[in-house]
Structure 1
């Protein structure tokens, strides 16, 4: 490709179109990320008990025998204000129930609960959480996933955090651990798409329709949940955490999303293929976001995350063919504008990688080079946005209407 070929009307039109699309989307991204400059630092564990309130922990399980052991151990290490742990199991057949019963024999705060058969229109995990809420006795309800590892002092820390900031509901981003090299090369790029679409954990509260949440560690006042129908507002959602958080925020609750990388770890998947399939199925936040906004977010991710590097290479090559000092050539001016916009976008992307380093227990070269997989992450987001899922954690949901946010 040379200066002559670029000088044609086609390439000039393409360059102008890219600039017209990329510049406003880059400004939109800057507006979303700016609050992250003053975001709250990661929550630290509270190692002294609290006796002035109580917390019920609810863990939804279905065939989690290979993953729930560290979660149970972490919960048994908690002190007050943890009142009880309800493991709501959906008739597991892999030994999960036996592991829970063994833990309950050692810690009377742990109780195995079997949920009723799944009602029509409910996702299994959400129904299990609703079952736990109906039996909870604590002033707070903390949803924890079976693949998480709670640090000692988690329970007191999350209650401290929400009370200090005046939240009614808050969830906490984890630190990822035990990832394969392939996962550490791709998953951080997928995580960045969430930050680009919703902002950073610990930043000021966004509008209700931009609230982000993490169901792996989701704390809410029990009275507030009961007032709003429990988990029913998210009953048909594959991103139930975000759907519920946005519903509560839209109805006046103060909802926070904080950095919990020092208080909870997660080892969710065993391979890149499982992560690509399972997490990629719902991380578009389909059930909590209007269709038109999801596609704007897809455009933003392609424009500001996936395309800047290849565009920089192409633009630099073309500009060199025109002459870097060609001041009066309109094509050169257009190229320099594209070079500036995409250079800023790539710089922001690399700085965000540095900011996210604490969210990964193991990093190494796959993490630090994960920005090279941005195109793959943008493609996965596009696929997820275009498709309606029907399977989740071994269940088939052909009758669910999962795109209800339209």
Structure 2
């Protein structure tokens, strides 16, 4: 290979090699929720922000109500569909369910952040658990979460549910969440260092003691953040609070998006913020395209490119194995660049994003 081609090969191989090393560590150490009973009995509030979730709540709310929490509070965030009617129907049959009607969104707040802030104010539990309306809680999931937090002596714990994907576009894009988590965040560093960079959060499931939630400033301190869950987890670590992260395994799962358009809209709303800016996003798109997609045709030109190509496929297989998905999805990894560029292009072209019928300013 020419010197420029050799330099690119080394760049891609090192990029994949570092991720693969972290992934191998996490395959052995990253916790997965498992059935268990907590030792301490504590009052728990399950808190759910809901905006235009009339189609989803009948599928997920029964599982939440079966967890045995002292209260389940769902806030209807000014939905334009039948969310409120669906919630009122459930509340008539389940006394532990409280339905709140959200206040109008103030200037300078993100919709979900505002909804969660209101929910926290209404909760009476010693522990508050924020979860999304599209998360499926299997029987015993809350007990497993509480036992996990106790075992790690954590005042903040966050869980990444197993991703349910039904369409090809979902399978190509949504599992990237797991690949990023397991390929970039070594769990031993989460547990053994005080560096805030070695922490994260997932708004689909966040458990806080009330005192820890107030100590990081609650959602008010992150009112306009599109990655508020990640920033809250990092601040908790930075303040010296004990943090624990886990995968949902068979107990927590979610189907985040139900169409290609919804998937693109969902990912494009925070992909710029996640990369720290547009130039960084462009660099990431180019590097990922070279590593996961172009490495395969380049191997026809020079066989050394089979090394990064195979590393990328193995990465996907190992991630799927850890997250209880089919390792056969590794065969989809070379196609990843196509939906990724669709998401990235949308984010790069727009200075705003629209989500759940609301428009916000985008990251620069």
TM-score, normalised relative to structure 2: 0.86
Alignment partner of 1:252 is 2:240: yes
For 1:152 and 1:62, the matched residues in 2 are separated by 25
Q: Are the equivalent residues in 2 in contact too, given 1:168–1:220 (CA < 8 A)?
A: yes
Alignment partner of 1:305 is 2:292: yes
Give the superposition deviation at 1:84: 0.9
Correspondence list, 1:222-233, <5 A: 222-233=210-221
Give the superposition deviation at 1:17: 2.8
Structure 2: state its 5+ residue gaps.
none
Over 3 Å counting, the alpha-carbon distance change for 1:213 and 1:117 in structure 2 is same
For 2:89 and 2:196, the matched residues in 1 are separated by 42
Query: Could you list the per-position Cα deviations for residues 359-380 of structure 1 after superposition, in whole angstroms to 9, with x for gaps in the alignment?
Result: 467x596x35321322225425
Instruction: Tell me the residue number matched to 2:357.
Output: 394
RMSD (Å), alpha carbons: 3.0
Instruction: Tell me the residue number matched to 2:47.
Output: 58
1:221 corresponds to which of 209, 221, 227 = 209
Q: Are the equivalent residues in 1 in contact too, given 2:155–2:242 (CA < 8 A)?
A: yes
1:350 corresponds to which of 306, 314, 325 = 314
1:14 corresponds to which of 4, 8, 23 = 4
Over 3 Å counting, the alpha-carbon distance change for 1:291 and 1:368 in structure 2 is closer
Q: Which has the larger radius of gyration?
A: 1
Query: Could you list the per-position Cα deviations for residues 39-73 of structure 1 after superposition, in whole angstroms to 9, with x for gaps in the alignment?
Result: 24521134x57662121111001111001112210
For 2:318 and 2:22, the matched residues in 1 are separated by 18
For 2:28 and 2:114, the matched residues in 1 are separated by 37
Query: Could you list the per-position Cα deviations for residues 298-349 of structure 1 after superposition, in whole angstroms to 9, with x for gaps in the alignment?
Result: 5653454344323323313xxxxxxxxxxxxxxxxxxxxx44xx51552353
Over 3 Å counting, the alpha-carbon distance change for 1:139 and 1:310 in structure 2 is farther
Q: Are the equivalent residues in 2 in contact too, given 1:238–1:287 (CA < 8 A)?
A: no
Q: Are the equivalent residues in 1 in contact too, given 2:49–2:115 (CA < 8 A)?
A: yes
Instruction: Tell me the residue number matched to 1:379.
Output: 341
Over 3 Å counting, the alpha-carbon distance change for 1:291 and 1:182 in structure 2 is closer
For 1:125 and 1:27, the matched residues in 2 are separated by 37
Give the superposition deviation at 1:30: 4.0
Aligned residue pairs total 360
Q: Are the equivalent residues in 1 in contact too, given 2:265–2:354 (CA < 8 A)?
A: no
Q: Are the equivalent residues in 1 in contact too, given 2:182–2:319 (CA < 8 A)?
A: no
For 1:185 and 1:290, the matched residues in 2 are separated by 24
2:91 is paired with a residue whose SS is helix
2:185 corresponds to which of 175, 185, 199 = 199
For 1:357 and 1:396, the matched residues in 2 are separated by 37
